[in-house]
Structure 1
Amino acid sequence: MEIQSVGEAFVRPRQVLTDRTALSSVRRWTQAVSEADGVCVLHLAEGVDPCELTAELREQGLRASPNHVFRGQPLFFGGPASRPFPTPPIGGRTHRSRSDVVVGLLDTGVSKHPWWSGSEWYARLGPQEADAMEGEQAGHGTFIAGLLTRRAPGVSLRVERVLDADGVTDEATVVRALHRMRERPPHVLNLSFGGHTFDDRPPPLLSDALGALGATSTRTVTVACAGNTASDRPFWPAALPFVVGVAAVDASQQCRAPYSGYGTWVDACARGDWLTSSYLDVGEFGGYAAWSGTSFATALVSGAIADAARDEPARPWIDRLLDSEETPQIQDLGVLFPASL
């Protein structure tokens, strides 16, 4: 995947996302258009800057964005927790009765594991939803799936692979996956990836797609990671006002993990350090690992929402929790979700 750096943001070179309303306005700058699942990707002529064209289209009132590159957010720097470590087998929680709650998981896919052996949701997965076995973020989706199913026993996962083996995706891929989810929207949607935008403004096509899911009959609650940026610069999609943005706290569950994003746009936080979960059965790993990052704090919050949704709709429950003055909060990190694994 070709990547162009724009400040601290990354975009696909010579690509702009838009909807059909802008096609006539961009014809002279466009070599080709690929349209699928609710989004048009404009492939620009040589020398056309996607950020400059985006700004021009927005001045005309059109919905446009460079094709931003997003990445999964496990921790890859800053100490001994910077990669997954093998652990002995971990006992799962006592199984509860099957829940009707569905959690959407857009990630690297999910690998076979004893924790969901025989489950209906895993039996429905095809080869295209299998987790990557090699790459910097191979096992990322499997690790998150374990956190979700332990925190919310009995839930079903709806898995779609949008991240490659190195944890990289782009905005067009994500928007198209979200569009396909509208027919059967999940109750909770976990997005443990993200990135900055070239102008620090919300990406409109991604915002539209997530907003449409939140407006469905199930009123999907989207939960996204605040990023391992150690800064207060908005990280998308977590910084969208209708998305639950999640930061990471350290093992004490009292202080921000040094790598975590933070700021007024963050809604919630959970432990992100040295969590243990399911992993690939490969090499020195026997299907279990310890890992750190806002990716995994996000899964704990998604799981808590999904577990509560067994008894009441997810959206009213999380809105009430986030708005309550009695809920424990940490400045610039939002409401604290205590780890209960």
Structure 2
Amino acid sequence: MNFQSVGEALIRPGQLLADRSTLAAVARWTQAVSEADGVCVAHLAPGVDPCELAAELSARGLRASPNHVFRGQPLFFGGPASRPFPVEPIAYRPARNRSAATVAVLDTGVVKHPWWSGTDWYSRVGPEDADAGEGQQAGHGTFVAGMLARLAPGVSLRVRRVLDGDGIGDEASVIRALHRMREDPPDVINLSFGGHTFDDRPPPLLNDAIAALSDTVTVACAGNTASDRPFWPAALPAVVGVAALEATGRQRAAYSGYGTWVDACARGDWLESSYLDLGEFGGFATWSGTSFAAALVSGTIAAGAAAEPAKEVVRRLLDAEDARHFPDLGVVVPVSL
């Protein structure tokens, strides 16, 4: 795991994300540049601090940031959000009809599972987007995919692996995955991961990549931080940030992030879904975390998007006059599985 801690933020050492117009300004600090799918990664000379350089460039009106590290969000050790637990098989008959709605799942990938055996979308999942089944968060993407499949039967999932088996990924990989969706945007994107930035400001290139998908609803988890510190990408203005409620739905789950930047909340504790068929697990698990509260909201939007644009669905969901609200948690999205 190649990353370093800067305060409570994590970054890739010696890497700066920049757009093309910024590259000339960082040339004298740069050893090499890699460019792919709309993002440039400048590999800096030894001793150059990417956070200090990003702050200097931002003050000059240029778009740059360190390559922040993101993590999937059951990672809250000592609470129910820390790990999955095995459960008995869950009865579910997948719909064979293909919904008009498409949900992109940027996560750890997925594994083969009876719930989507024979579906068109799973037949398009290549080896690069399959879950390797190893690591502390292996099965995270499979769990999210199962929740979406149950909430929006027949939905077409577009799986992109941006996290490894330990739930670790970075900003550059996420931006690249988002750029590749521009030609054929999904209705909804689920991002059940995130992190802090070194300066608590929005990461500019990630913000640009999400904002460019203007007809897509992007949903992200508020993080298992138990704090109101902005958690990205959930805190971006173009993103529906989702916090977690405890099992009764009456109050915030103790681990959940919260704040004025949170838009919605849903149950996050002891949810059941598809999982790996490995060891004590027979393809099913119960798990807790803001990751899965976000998936509940994404699935609710996807279900509605079968009949109308996802943007309209989310507008009604967040602006409903009769909806319950919690301070610093937003609109309560009542969902049951």
Q: C-alpha distance in 1, partners of 2:320/2:290?
A: 24
5 Å-filtered alignment, 1:79-94, equals 79-92=79-92
Q: C-alpha distance in 1, partners of 2:80/2:222?
A: 21
5 Å-filtered alignment, 1:48-87, equals 48-87=48-87
Comparing 78-87 with 151-160, greater Cα deviation is found at 78-87
Matched, 1:279 2:241: no
Q: C-alpha distance in 2, partners of 1:85/1:262?
A: 26
Structure 1 residue 12, shift from structure 2 partner: 0.7
Structure 1 residue 93, shift from structure 2 partner: 5.6
Structure 1 residue 128, shift from structure 2 partner: 0.9
5 Å-filtered alignment, 1:140-219, equals 140-214=140-214, 219=215
Q: Deviations over 1:219-268 (max 9, x none)?
A: 00000000000000000000011100000000010100000000110001
Which amino acid in 2 is paired with 1:10? L
5 Å-filtered alignment, 1:2-151, equals 2-92=2-92, 95=95, 97-151=97-151
Matched, 1:338 2:334: yes
Which residue number in structure 2 is paired with residue 239 of structure 1?
A: 235
* TM score, norm. by length of structure 1: 0.97
Q: C-alpha distance in 2, partners of 1:40/1:326?
A: 46
Structure 1 residue 81, shift from structure 2 partner: 4.9
Structure 1 residue 320, shift from structure 2 partner: 2.6
SS at match of 1:13: strand
Q: C-alpha distance in 2, partners of 1:256/1:120?
A: 38
Matched, 1:220 2:239: no
Which amino acid in 1 is paired with 2:282? G
Q: Deviations over 1:7-33 (max 9, x none)?
A: 110111111000110111111100111
Q: In structure 2, do the counterparts of structure 1 residues 257 and 93 end up closer, same or farther at CA, with 3 Å as the change threshold?
A: farther
Which residue number in structure 1 is paired with residue 295 of structure 2?
A: 299
SS at match of 2:66: strand
SS at match of 1:58: helix
Q: Deviations over 1:291-334 (max 9, x none)?
A: 00000000000000000011111102212321233221111111
Q: C-alpha distance in 2, partners of 1:81/1:25?
A: 43
Which amino acid in 2 is paired with 1:125? V
Contact persistence 1:270–1:297 (CA under 8 A): yes
Structure 1 residue 94, shift from structure 2 partner: 6.8
Which amino acid in 2 is paired with 1:111? V
Q: In structure 2, do the counterparts of structure 1 residues 81 and 46 end up closer, same or farther at CA, with 3 Å as the change threshold?
A: closer
Gaps of 5+ in 2: none
Q: In structure 2, do the counterparts of structure 1 residues 286 and 21 end up closer, same or farther at CA, with 3 Å as the change threshold?
A: same
Structure 1 residue 95, shift from structure 2 partner: 3.3
Structure 1 residue 119, shift from structure 2 partner: 0.3
Q: C-alpha distance in 2, partners of 1:51/1:241?
A: 23
Q: C-alpha distance in 2, partners of 1:278/1:222?
A: 23
SS at match of 2:223: coil
Q: In structure 2, do the counterparts of structure 1 residues 93 and 258 end up closer, same or farther at CA, with 3 Å as the change threshold?
A: farther
Which amino acid in 2 is paired with 1:244? V
Q: In structure 2, do the counterparts of structure 1 residues 320 and 339 end up closer, same or farther at CA, with 3 Å as the change threshold?
A: closer
Which amino acid in 1 is paired with 2:143? F
Gaps of 5+ in 1: none
* TM score, norm. by length of structure 2: 0.98
Which amino acid in 1 is paired with 2:77? F
Please tell me the root mean square deviation across aligned C-alpha atoms, in Å: 1.2
Q: Deviations over 1:164-222 (max 9, x none)?
A: 010000100110110011111100000000000000000000000000012xxxx0000
Q: In structure 2, do the counterparts of structure 1 residues 286 and 82 end up closer, same or farther at CA, with 3 Å as the change threshold?
A: same
Q: C-alpha distance in 1, partners of 2:311/2:78?
A: 36
Q: C-alpha distance in 1, partners of 2:79/2:19?
A: 43
Q: How many residues align?
A: 337
Q: C-alpha distance in 2, partners of 1:331/1:290?
A: 28
Contact persistence 1:93–1:153 (CA under 8 A): no
Which amino acid in 2 is paired with 1:173? S
Q: C-alpha distance in 2, partners of 1:24/1:330?
A: 47
SS at match of 1:26: helix
Q: C-alpha distance in 2, partners of 1:72/1:323?
A: 28
Q: In structure 2, do the counterparts of structure 1 residues 69 and 80 end up closer, same or farther at CA, with 3 Å as the change threshold?
A: closer
Q: In structure 2, do the counterparts of structure 1 residues 339 and 321 end up closer, same or farther at CA, with 3 Å as the change threshold?
A: closer
Q: Deviations over 1:76-122 (max 9, x none)?
A: 42335521111110012673743110000000001000000000000
Q: C-alpha distance in 1, partners of 2:135/2:80?
A: 19
After the TM superposition, list the runs of 4 or more consecutive aligned residues in structure 1 that deviate by more than 4 angstroms: none
SS at match of 1:317: helix
Q: C-alpha distance in 2, partners of 1:19/1:95?
A: 43
Q: In structure 2, do the counterparts of structure 1 residues 97 and 120 end up closer, same or farther at CA, with 3 Å as the change threshold?
A: closer
Structure 1 residue 126, shift from structure 2 partner: 1.0
SS at match of 2:82: coil
Which amino acid in 2 is paired with 1:180? R
